Chain A
Amino acid sequence: MSDAPYLSLEKLTLAYGDTVAVANLDLPIRKGELVALLGPSGCGKTTTMRAIAGLLPVKSGHVRLDGADITRVPANKRAVGLVFQSYALFPHLSVYENVAFGLKLKGMRGTGLDAKVRSGLTSVGLSSFANRKPAELSGGQQQRVALARSMVMEPKVLLLDEPLSNLDARLRLEMRTELQRVQKETGVTMIFVTHDQAEALALADRIVVMKNGKIEQIGSPEDIYNRPTSSFVADFVGFENIFPIEQGKMKTSSGLIDLSGPAPSAAGLAWRPRMVTLGSGPFRGTVRGTSFAGDSREYLLDTPFGPIKAEVEASQPAHALGSDLSFDLPAEKAAPLSRFA
């Protein structure tokens, strides 16, 4: 892995008609990286991916790949592969012909073509399905055909649109392993788009969280999971108790509240339910709801500063609905947020 960016988006602005979808986006990606574009629908992640593929004209800014400016290079000359969310297999062609499609356009013929297609199919474990039509395959198999179809083209970058979203839980795990294996074996640079944080965390080397056409945070899965820098990212990765900080105090609907420990300097603090101390502490709340989740138990507390979610190990004694509890939001455990919006 080299440190110089292999694919870089520079001041990229994308629009549908007059509606700007992505504004002034900068994103360098190293060769061989596996990057996730994570965000809710409408955040611009798919738009960005389509622009990298060349399916969407760039309004301003640049896309550079492997040292060349490809901003105006048409999609069919970019050497960028894309595995569509729907797989987009050609329904009238067999699995074999689907995989051979791009190679034939490159002018490949005869045994060279055949060998390449066969090895592509073998690598995704579908060599015995060569003569089937896409409609005769399961969703997971179709996706592997789509993967093989893109990979035989030896793209410089492989894009994947919500690669795991259409699969059931078991296949999801299988596909995740498959993608990691392919990436490891070929060293291809992969970018995938997802709205599912678990998918991004499990698969990516680096996660780019997007919101409203802008990058909210870039970091390793650990960074994103443990150290969100904004309330948006914190919320997105499961910090359910988030408060702004003013003058070193927590700002709530019932005024500024002192926290235990040294006064924080961040713009906000975020706690996962598990980070809330239950049964002791300076604050009091009433149990409004409770749910049992196997090895843990979750409580929803009514407090003077709004609802708080807390989670404790199931081995702890249970609290009944309506019971009054003391709790604490320990500042030292919280994730400090530099931006609150």
Chain B
Amino acid sequence: MFQNRAEALALALPAAFFAAAVFLMPVAILLSDGFRNPVGGWTISAYTDFFADPLNRTVFLRTLRLGAIVTVVSAVLGYAAAFAIVNLEPGTKGKMTGLVVLPLMISPVARTYAWIVILGRTGIVNQALQLVGLTDAPLRILFSETAVFVGLLQLFLPLMIISLISALENMPKDAVPAARVLGANWFQVFWKVILPLTKEGLVIGGTLVFTGSLTAYITPAILGGSKVLMLETLLYQQVSVSNNFVSASVIAFILIVMSFAANILLKRVATARNKQRVPQ
């Protein structure tokens, strides 16, 4: 550790100043708009107005619901996939991890558009369903919450898997065999051993997936359209169609509060664990 304060500040301040000026200040002003009373002073009436509108309530709850469902499903699939991957041979493990990361390198625009082809009335999902005879007429999947859910899941599942892979790898190697020897069945092993030991990874992955789902724009816009508005698409509509910046500010604030709530949750759990480590 170097002691020179002036040097430290000279190195750190440009970045901090840049982020503050280009990012924090404008965002702070934007958020303050939602609390400004047009006749002067401050008020939360924009918020009460916002939640008084049934459409807004619907959109808010839908955003929360979809975010939660995507997070839960990605956790379930994530554990299965991550567990399978960490138990592979080192070489195969690397390749499989690569395949999981691969979609993250591809433009979300392309990834979302693929779903139009897949989920459409003439898409392969409907073709398959009709082939197996599960349905006579093609199902309508596009422009529904299901389509948005599928799109979001595909977008963010890799983040969950990666978090869980590293959590599972950091788990003591003998924990599972030890629990088995002590007579636990697989369900108990997961619930009493794996889950507590990988809690941190689950929380990190969960926050990434949840926050990502809240703030995704293209997926709800393309796969949901105006029938499946989410907060982010509603915000865009408020600005670009209704010119309603106060409402946009309210939505922005709600989104940020939701992200922060998830983030704080993450930090709490993570630091609770870090305390157990011996400081260097």
Give A residues with C-beta under 8 Å from B.
Answer: 16-17, 56-57
Contact = CB atoms under 8 A, between A and B. Distances in A.
Contacts of B3: 16-17, 56-57
Nearest to B2: A55
Contacts of A56: 3
Interface residues of B, number: 1
Interface string B1-27: 001000000000000000000000000
Q: Which 4 A-B pairs have the closest CB atoms?
A: A57-B3, A16-B3, A56-B3, A17-B3
4 contacts: A16-B3, A17-B3, A56-B3, A57-B3
A57 B3 CA distance: 9
Interface of B: 3
A55 to B, nearest CB: 9
B142 to A, nearest CB: 54
Contacts of A57: 3
A135 to B, nearest CB: 21
A51 to B, nearest CB: 12
A57 B2 CA distance: 10
A16 B1 CA distance: 10
A16 B3 CA distance: 8
Contacts of A16: 3
A157 to B, nearest CB: 22
A22 to B, nearest CB: 15
A17 B3 CA distance: 8
Nearest to B5: A17
A56 B2 CA distance: 8
A276 B3 CA distance: 50
Nearest to A55: B2
A56 B1 CA distance: 10
Nearest to A15: B3
A17 to B, nearest CB: 8
Nearest to A16: B3
Contacts of A17: 3
A42 to B, nearest CB: 15
A86 to B, nearest CB: 13
B227 to A, nearest CB: 57
A79 to B, nearest CB: 22
A82 to B, nearest CB: 16
A340 B3 CA distance: 36
Nearest to B4: A57
Nearest to B1: A16
B222 to A, nearest CB: 47
A56 B4 CA distance: 10
B136 to A, nearest CB: 67
B137 to A, nearest CB: 66
A16 B4 CA distance: 11
